[in-house]
Chain A
Amino acid sequence: MATKGDPITGDIVFLLTDPDTKQSQVGTSDGLEPLPPEGVQLSPLGNVTEAPGYTVLTIGAAGAREEDLANFSVPTQNGAIVAAGLTRAFEGAPQRAYDQACDCIKDAETGQTWTADETNGLFVDAQGENLAQGWKVNVGLRNFADVVTDPLIAKYFFRTLVWNFAFAALTVAGTFALGLLVAIVLNHERLKGQRIYRSLLILPYAMPAFAMLLLWRDMFNTDFGLINRMFGTEVNWFGKPVTAMIAVLLVQLWMGYPYMFLVATGALQSIPGDLKEAASVDGAKPVYAFRTIIFPLLLVALAPLMIASFAFNFNNFNAIYMVSEGGPFPPDNPQIGATDLLITYTYRLAFGAQGAQYGFAAAVSVFIFLIVAVFSIIGFRRTRALEEVN
């Protein structure tokens, strides 16, 4: 093992000696050439210790260039020569190669073959096992059909769909209820310190969400988490579906209510005082007046924001991925967990450890889009927001 020139930056070359013939050769990234025997010193084991024009690397110097060595290989006719340790090298040939004659991949050692499967774009052996590598084929609408028909996928897909709706709806409802409550309570002209309360209450919304999501995840940690320590409990929050769902919903409530508080305050203040006065002059009790006059007006003002919030939370990737990562997972399907939203499920399909099912993931994405679009359109139609577009 040596370099041409400077031991730190020079190109790496292999000075190789065949153990049988004792012939020395120089291996560069271009290939092998014979090493002229003049001035070459061999160690008793046959390693080249000195050669004119080359600097033989000491063990320390070679260790410093470990990374370059790992990437270095000498191409040969049958394969390539790579280093094995610091004083040895071996010639390897690719074990499996594509054979044009049978349109298959052959294993040179075992003789096993994987035949090309044109419908799936994979190489499949006799047992139906496929290699990880494949190519692109046209599958028509099969990915869409799989979503609806494959029993395992269908079972979990619809369960996930239900949870996805529940997650978005409960998040919007919860944040709206809490935000509105706080807004009503604070919206009183004789309440001192309103501005301070308001500035502090919107802090959760102003904090960077990704950091707070990760913080919440760690606060729910079973062994070290603040929640368990504060209440003296030992709940494995992300171990059971129900507690995991409660945890992610609680996090979303915390993340979302300051926003709802802000907009509810704005809407409350924009409702004319005359209306309230007129109601009280007519003898309406405050709660009744609120229910029949103020609340409907609030809804008119805030419904578009609530629909937008629903659509956002329906695909709230960070909220799940950073807190529960979709878990806990059922034993028969490690692909889709109890708190998975469709979008985190799709992300795992496309980029997860189980392989890149881009096509299937894209099909699921189209389903997600259709669902959200339909619900948003219905929602906007009902609030007549779209009909005001003029």
Chain B
Amino acid sequence: MSINSIVEELKKNISAFEKQVEVEEVGTVLEVGDGIARLSGLSKCQANEMLEFPGGTFGVALNLEEETVGAVLLGEFKHIKEGDTVKRTGRILSVPVGDQMIGRVVNPLGQFIDGGAETKAKQFYPIEKIAPGVMSRQPVSQPVQTGIKAIDAMIPIGRGQRELIIGDRQTGKTAIAIDAIINQKGQDMICVYVAIGQKESKVARIVAKLKESGAMDYTIVVVAGASAPAALSYIAPYSGVAMAEYFMDQGKDVLCVYDDLSKQAWAYREISLLLRRPPGREAYPGDVFYLHSRLLERACRRNKEAGGGSITALPIIETQASDVTAYIPTNVISITDGQIFLETDLFFRGIRPALNVGISVSRVGGAAQTKPMKKVAGKLKLAMAQFRELEAFSQFSSDLDPETRKQIDLGQRLVEVLKQPQFKPMAVANQVAIIYAVQNGFANHVAPKEMVTWEGKFHDFMNKSKSAVLEKITAGTWDETVETELKEAITEFNKI
């Protein structure tokens, strides 16, 4: 019975099938090499259109010239030779988007590279899109909790903000971004981690860490490895943000990490030079500013009328020998809403995360801080600034007046408290409690070196016995009663 019905169904399908003559527009390869191809024909080709080369390799048309089309190849190109036929696909370069992407590792074309099950995408988003305009935006009002004390207190990040993480190699830039992703558990955020030109081993380690901490349940990892063609590195952040835009269109909040944009700029420089675009400063093409501005402008907080949702961007830039006046760092600093500076000498002095709090800023994040955090952080910034000025005198401790002595002591303890190991994000309430305790002299009896152990015990005590106060702080209430309760709790802890 069932076989008959299948046959019937099949027959119906076949009879309903109409034969069509397939019309394809084609061109020919004039020259190919170094990941780019020059093509003739293709007179109606669109900018950024996908082109199909023989052997299933795709390319993107970047240069549309009078006689020829310049295209970058997205993948293997050894088998492509002069005279080969190239087909137009009629599709602007786009990537699959949707919930099925969550928890997966994909390449910049949206193909799964983690060996997991293939799922068909229902929707595609073009990777290049104009960012939301003025009328559909609103200022940041909700915080992104990174779980890092120094950042959440002094350089707060709001949902929809663009905060640059900048520093030399080996200063913990990726560590901050990964910690921020791990801390989004239960915060109703989707994360997109875009690895551009990274070692595959490093990406594998990051993915393993994210899995271990349960962060892969809400994270998409887009990888253009160090061995991938420059074209893939170039499009990787755009495909990452396209996947993020899908979730923003659902009214969700998304955190996008681009690790790192200097490598993307290198890839773009390579492509541009091969396509014979005129080089400018540091041999980057003239539109390298637009390369990053159009990407980061897509991070936004949309208002209710426009559908809500937000994309927070954490671009990463690697500097050479702390030179922030190079071309790409200055560009990206000027585009973003603030920057987190990481420094090598702080890193080696054991201050990790190696934040230079003096020159790191967040231009808009303050509006998104919770009330308790705002209250304690205001004093913290001041105390740290005073400490930096007096730090040089700390060696002459015996000759100092008591007031200066006090400030230096406080500063040293605060520096200790702001240290935080990797993969140990902390809840806001705990951050507020510890900073409050140190600031108000409740830790004066503890030597700076002992601070770490003291802090550990303090959090244990607070989490176990005083969770009621912490809950109030988490809820964002801060008044005299909460403050008194917190004070009492700390005094009680000190008595033990």
Pair from one complex: no
Chain A interface residues (CB < 8 Å from chain B):
none
